[in-house]
Structure 1
Amino acid sequence: MSEEEFPVAIGAGAVAVVYWAAWLRDAGHTSLLVRPAGRLTGLILCLLGGLGIVFATLLTWADPVVRASPSYILLFLAVAGVALAVATAVAAVLGVSPLDDAVRRPNPAAAFTTAGVWLGTSLTVAGANVGRGDTIGTTIGPLALGVVALLALWAVLAVATGAIGSVTHDRDVPAGVRQAGLLIAWGLILGRATAGDWESVAGTWEDFANQGWPALVLLAIAIPLEWWLRPRADRPAPRWPARIGPALAYVLAATSWLAWL
């Protein structure tokens, strides 16, 4: 690791450790009256699973220099921790707080959505770590592009459909499952769109557009689906299989796209 890269590693590591230590401490102090143990355990497993995906990618498909260097692996794990912290903060800004809604309130819908945010972000980060690059910037740049795109797509969905309200106000579990499936599907697509050997900035944008456009297609499908599937006083909600089926369809569509590429 070069002298220029060392401060990045220290900074990312400090931010990740401080943020997640504080988050886990606050989550652990949740009142037992809301029975948070099951939700918190599931969320911690999702968080560790997401970091595990990134770790496995670093060991197998990252640049050979990264694979051979424990310090680089720790650096990019720290960057992943920062990306997950950013996604968690953005989720709270959009209206679903992983701490307040998913842990401190008995709201399984928010727990599913949070799991989707974390896994989708982890898949995006993992994809950006695939391939060779001259500097850490050739990984962090595409990584930031993918994570920003993921969160922007979710923000558009939230504004266009009120999907966040379905999760936080209505506590509609199928709505949370659908958003989780969509976020995971977006993570698969955007992770693939940012993967590969570094060539140039222009090449990165070109590959991102050529391989990431199905994420927009899923958004265009999800918006009218959310309008139709959201329960209303004047219309009973469809049966549960119909309401959670889109989540599986989103993930299957994304994996099919990856297989086709």
Structure 2
Amino acid sequence: MHPYFSLQGRTALVTGGTRGIGKMIAQGFVEAGATVYICARDPQACTDTAAELSALGDCRALPANLANEAGIQALGAQLASQIERLDILVNNAGTTWGAPLESYPAQGWEKVLQLNVTSVFGCIQQLLPLLRKAGTAETPARVINIGSVAGISSFGEQAYAYGPSKAALHQLSRILARELVSQHINVNVIAPGRFPSKMTRHIAEDEQALAADTAQIPMGRWGREAEMAALAISLASTAGAYMTGAIIPIDGGFSL
């Protein structure tokens, strides 16, 4: 691997790291040489995924439920007891809720906004001391928030809380990027379009739905695992050292 993209000697935390986009990024980081902690609420999934990725490098399980403040505080305390600094934080854990407009429940809004926005803020807040210790003028610490093209486009698919939650995350990221840059912490957003995940499985497994969905993407296909990992590595490595406050669509042109 070219040294511009090496993560050798760096430590990363990926929330929601046991499947989908989180696992793609975690695997890429491990392969790039980082020590990677993966977080999810299912302890067994954490253990299994960490064992799988440890065949490629150093990956460690750190189970936590980020849906509430107590779980976020517990994550921060547990990680601080194991490491002295955190070079890279990837806030990937998220959720969605779909229902017709007339019956869309308040519970859906609360759940989606809590995990997709409030919990991300809480994770950054709790892990800020570790990020501050890692960041230098030469090599800033990195926060990479996983947004969505749903926060850029008006393509809602009856998931009324999801797009607004991601738009809020994009704006939160810009605010934090401006505030934390002087502390040598870069904050950027990856805004994915379609990638294989549990959230998109219902489309991938329906031939007609997949064809209709793909027709909306100028490149005519979904994203690939290696493409997601490569972008995250770029933001986390020397390649991303002079970038902060960016919202980067990776969507095959969908947001156009």
TM-score by length of 1: 0.32
* Greater share of residues in strand: 2
| TM-score, normalised relative to structure 2 | 0.32
Largest Rg, 1 or 2: 1
